[in-house]
Amino acid sequence: MTASQDFAILGYDVQRKLGEGGMASVWLAVEAETGRRVAIKLLAKGKGDEAAEKRFLMEGETLAHLPHANIVQVLEVVHEEDRSYIVMECLEGGVLSKRMSTGWLTLSDHVGFIVQIAGALQYAHEHGVIHRDLKPDNILFRDARTPVLTDFGIARLRRDLTDSRITETGMVIGTPTYMSPEQATGQEVDGRSDQYALGVLFYEMLAGKPPFVGETAMQIAFAHVHQPPPSLPGGYDFIEPLVMKMLAKDPKQRFPDLKAFVAELKGALTGSPILQKRLKIDPTADISEQLQAIGFSENQLSLRIPRMLGVETPTGALKHMLLEGSALELEPVQVTRREVVHETKNNRSVPIMLILVVLFVVAAVAVVGMFF
């Protein structure tokens, strides 16, 4: 040990405390064998009840089975008689909440961060894990451009994957500002609840404040359940339909999953020079390079917009719908001219000719009558 004399962990040189929550503390340490800087999340005996300890260990085990570029990497999960701790990568790029508070983030930053976190959540959902506490404070950065999802402390596995449920239906757990209506009312949740929270985060990035605020948690929860979200500020009409769909009160009205959301977002962002300028990406690069520069992964670039059952969507209709009414320019619309239009115009000349002939005959008869 060096700076800290509070505790020792074999194989690690504990440096200093990074932070402390209600039940656990986080420490900066150096792995003795490799010299790698790590973060150790420590739950000491007496800091929580048996259920809290189970949730703590489940968080470590859950993260250990979720290898993804935008999910914090867990190196070791240890349970001892007098303590439990999780050794994970040390993320020293800051926290999203502080970046958002600066007001320096660009539209490109917003889109890139949302897309990457959507990929992390989708990966977790595909492996049966629902986060349930998505918020800016739980998104740290590995570097300037790579957000990393952390704090799976109240995550839960789907019922069909485990019978060990630490939290039950009817128990409200999470952060009110980012809580879905079904979570706020203690109902069963699935990946669409995380999608709602991501929609709240996206809205907050674009509008500068979350859609629902209140003096108490109860007021905020009531708004999530009963009140429609306000419209986004002007200039975001091109993306508002997507955000509002994520914020639908009924989970069935949201995207079926976050892959579908990313696919439609991708469709909305391509093909507009004005939008490319706002995103501050290189217009000379091809579409894939442009989207990768923002934050889309290779897997996300291969996604296609799903066709809704029973609805025939013309090519380009989604993009036109998303951009219509905004300050952005629409792509030129191809107009097909039909021959029937020309035939109608030609037919109009027939009655005019008949009238001229009749007038000519009448005039001729009148002239002849003057001489006879």
Quick: pLDDT tens for 19-55.
Answer: 887 778 899 999 999 999 999 999 877 665 777 788 8
Top mean pLDDT of 5-19, 87-101, 279-293 is at 87-101
- Note if 133 is an active site residue: yes
Taking residue 62's Cβ as centre, other Cβ atoms within 10 Å add up to 22
Chain-wide mean pLDDT for the chain? Answer: 78
- The answer on pLDDT for 172 being more than 80 is no
**pLDDT tens digits, residue range 85-97?**
999 999 999 999 9
Per-residue confidence (pLDDT) for residue 329, from 0 to 100:
39
Burial status of residue 342 (CB atoms within 10 A of its CB: 0-12, 13-18, 19 or more): exposed
Q: What does 23-41 look like in DSSP terms, one character per residue? A: S-EEEEEEETTT--EEEEE
Mapped onto helix, strand or coil, the DSSP state of residue 132 is: coil
What is the DSSP pairing of strand 37-44 with strand 156-157?
unpaired
What is 96-323's CATH superfamily? Transferase(Phosphotransferase) domain 1 (1.10.510.10)
Sign of the alpha-carbon torsion through 232, 234, 235, 237:
positive
In this prediction, residue 232 has a pLDDT band, given cuts at 50, 70 and 90, of very high
Query: What share of the chain in percent tops pLDDT 90?
Result: 44
DSSP 311: -
Burial call 254-277: b when 16+ CB within 10 Å, e when fewer: bbebbbbbbbbbbbbbeebeebbe
Domain 12-89 identical in fold to domain 96-323: no
Instruction: Give pLDDT, residue 241.
Output: 93
Identified catalytic residue from 109, 133, 151, 194: 133
Q: Is residue 8 a contact partner of residue 1, using CB atoms and an 8 Å limit?
A: yes
pLDDT at 47: 60
> Which DSSP letter does residue 87 get?
E
Domain 12-89: which CATH number of 3.30.470.10, 3.90.550.10, 3.30.200.20, 3.40.190.10: 3.30.200.20
Identify the pLDDT of residue 315.
38
Range with the poorest average pLDDT among 23-37, 181-195, 272-286: 272-286
Domain boundaries, the chain: 12-89, 96-323
pLDDT digits (tens, 9 = 90+) for 236-277: 888 899 999 999 999 999 999 999 999 998 888 775 666 667
Q: What is the predicted pLDDT for the residue at 61? A: 87
pTM: predicted TM-score of the whole model, two decimal places: 0.73
Output the pLDDT for position 331.
Answer: 40
- Report the pLDDT averaged over residues 127-135: 91
